Amino acid sequence: MISDQGNRSDATAATEQAVSAGPGAALPPTGFQVQIDPHCTVSDDRRHIVGGSPLRLLNLSEVAGGLLDADGRLMVSNRLTSQLARKLLDAGVGHPRPMFGPSETDITVVVPVRNNQSGIDRLLPRLTGHRVVIVDDGSTAPVRAPGATVLRTERSEGPAAARNRGAALAETELLAFLDSDVVPEHDWLTKLVGHFSDPKVALVAPRIVALEPGGGATSRYEALCSSLDMGRREGPIAPRSRIPYVPSAAMVVRRSCFEGFDETMEVAEDVDLCWRLHENGWSLRYDPIATVAHDHRSRLSKSLDRKRYYGTGAALLSGRHPGLGAPLALTVPMAAAMAALVTGTAWGVLAALVVFGVIGGRLHRRVSPMPDAARMAAKLTAQSVGFGLLQSASALCRHYWPLSFLLALVSKRFRNLLLAVAVGEAAYEWVRLELLNPEPGARVGWWRFIALKRLDDLAYGTGLWQGALAGRSADALYPRISNSVTTESRPSATRSGVG
């Protein structure tokens, strides 16, 4: 670890200079470290790495492979190691392990609020010592926030405008956005700011967990399946990946990269911000080592209405980012296989198996440089097929449920298939999120989980179609079919608030 203040100051100055040059010229500074993701498969000579999201094969030169230690760790010490670090990070197979970063005094915390004085009273004690700007977005009674700067608008302009108004008042290097219904752990910023020693990083977000994980079935389900919780695994944030976005309920942004939330969007403005930063070449990181607790909705009607509201944002995103928020993203062969399986016939199953064989052959050719190519190809084929099945099953029950319902009315074969898919996909999610969950917490139970999962999907799908009809555009409903042989590491439909 670098503890010398002179080194820290030099590194900070180098980072600021690299940021001003833009993300394309940014390389991690001396002392920065990168750790290969433990979920990756690495060859013995460390020259071939399979992993990331979307899944990819990274081939390194003999020299580059030799720079990684036996545990898959790389220390940046010169331009060559810095370039390799950037390559590992951009490929999604390496995670940053920064040794220094900006001071917490370089952060302004911006909190938009409307009619939630109790939330502000609960939040402010956790922000002692920080510059805090509270933006009162037209509350019925003016918000009181001792020790913080308070900006007030007489009428509500929306959370996006409130955040922008607070950000415009800041002069610090970093902006931390928090909603008024969250409670951060005391050192959440300390755990996150080191990421900004990488001059290409524009945004970092913590994990958002439940403030009260117990309570009724709805509260326990939200603790497991909240759209705000992006899971226990760290990783880069990018559209069409395992972590497609992070919510603005808690995030830290580099002010020089921040172009503002889109004030015309009443929902999904946080997703839009993430995707705009990514399109501009910046890196975004999700680090669950830092946590912020959110006061989830405990009433089923309010929870489902919120999911419906999230669904309406897909239409807004599809107009701004065509194809990035597609409800279904499959390769051409996988789409053909899924279409064959939906027929529910023996011939359909046989055709799908043939396509799976073709996919396996293509993957084998891609991983042929690896010493154990056959075993690796078989593993990747199984993963690809599994992800394709899960994503298609989720789409039938979530995004396209109105079409699935109509088809089930006229076809007994499809009705039986849909029933099996609806139970099977939800049961898989229950096993993954509750039964195999290493974190202790209140249990929902399999039958309650399955019922709540299906209601959750019906609510989101309703919002999706509502948004498409209101915008008079079906773009948000179109699947994305590509020629790539790789697949997403996890179907985004399982947890994403945008699809």
CATH number at residue 198: 3.90.550.10
User: Closest Cα to residue 53, out of 181, 210, 241?
Assistant: 241
Residue 478 has pLDDT above 50, yes or no: yes
Note the pLDDT tens digit of each residue in 174-215: 999 999 999 999 999 999 999 999 999 999 999 999 998 888
Q: Are residues 198 and 261 in the same domain?
A: yes
Is 21 inside any structural domain?
no
Q: Are residues 150 and 293 in the same domain?
A: yes
Residue 17, SS3 per DSSP: helix
Residue 309 has pLDDT above 70, yes or no: yes
Residue 4 has pLDDT above 50, yes or no: no
How much of the chain exceeds pLDDT 70, in percent? 92
Is 18 inside any structural domain?
no
Is 212 inside any structural domain?
yes
What per-residue confidence (pLDDT) applies to 6?
42
Looking up tokens 């994305």 gives: 480
Is 149 inside any structural domain?
yes
Strand residue runs (E) in 329-397:
329-331
Residue 314 has pLDDT above 50, yes or no: yes
State how far Cα 392 lies from the chain centre: 20
Q: Are residues 343 and 395 in the same domain?
A: yes
What per-residue confidence (pLDDT) applies to 492?
35
Give the chain's mean pLDDT: 91
Residue 231, SS3 per DSSP: coil
Q: Are residues 393 and 271 in the same domain?
A: no
Q: Are strands 131-137 and 107-113 parallel, antiparallel or unpaired?
A: parallel
Q: Are residues 83 and 120 in the same domain?
A: no
- The pTM score is 0.92
Q: For residues 29 and 13, what is the distance between their CA atoms, to the nearest angstrom?
A: 10
For Cα atoms 444, 434, 188, give the angle at the middle one, nearest 5 degrees: 105
| Among candidate residues 320, 338, 362, the one where a domain is terminated | 320
Query: How large is the average pLDDT for residues 457-485?
Result: 92
Q: Are residues 397 and 464 in the same domain?
A: yes
Q: For residues 70 and 394, what is the distance between their CA atoms, to the nearest angstrom?
A: 40
Note the pLDDT tens digit of each residue in 235-245: 999 999 999 99
Q: Are residues 59 and 196 in the same domain?
A: no
CA distances from 279 to 211, 238, 466 (A): 33, 9, 28
What per-residue confidence (pLDDT) applies to 350?
97
| Among candidate residues 320, 339, 366, the one where a domain is terminated | 320
Is 14 inside any structural domain?
no
Confidence of residue 491 (pLDDT cuts 50, 70, 90): very low
Query: How large is the average pLDDT for residues 27-42?
Result: 95
What per-residue confidence (pLDDT) applies to 233?
96
Residue 167 has pLDDT above 50, yes or no: yes
Least confident of 21-35, 301-315, 414-428, 481-495: 481-495
Q: For residues 380 and 121, what is the distance between their CA atoms, to the nearest angstrom?
A: 50
Q: Are residues 334 and 384 in the same domain?
A: yes
Q: Are residues 122 and 157 in the same domain?
A: yes
What per-residue confidence (pLDDT) applies to 215?
87
Q: Are residues 62 and 174 in the same domain?
A: no
Q: For residues 87 and 198, what is the distance between their CA atoms, to the nearest angstrom?
A: 13
What per-residue confidence (pLDDT) applies to 441?
80
Residue 71 has pLDDT above 80, yes or no: yes
What per-residue confidence (pLDDT) applies to 484?
61
Is 22 inside any structural domain?
no
On the CB side of 206, CA atoms within 13 Å amount to 28
Residue 498 has pLDDT above 80, yes or no: no
Least confident of 228-242, 296-310, 434-448, 455-469: 434-448
Is 264 inside any structural domain?
yes
What per-residue confidence (pLDDT) applies to 118?
97
Could you give the number of structural domains in the chain?
3
Q: Are residues 341 and 242 in the same domain?
A: no
Query: How large is the average pLDDT for residues 293-302?
Result: 95
Residues listed for the chain: 499
The domain of 73 spans: 31-97
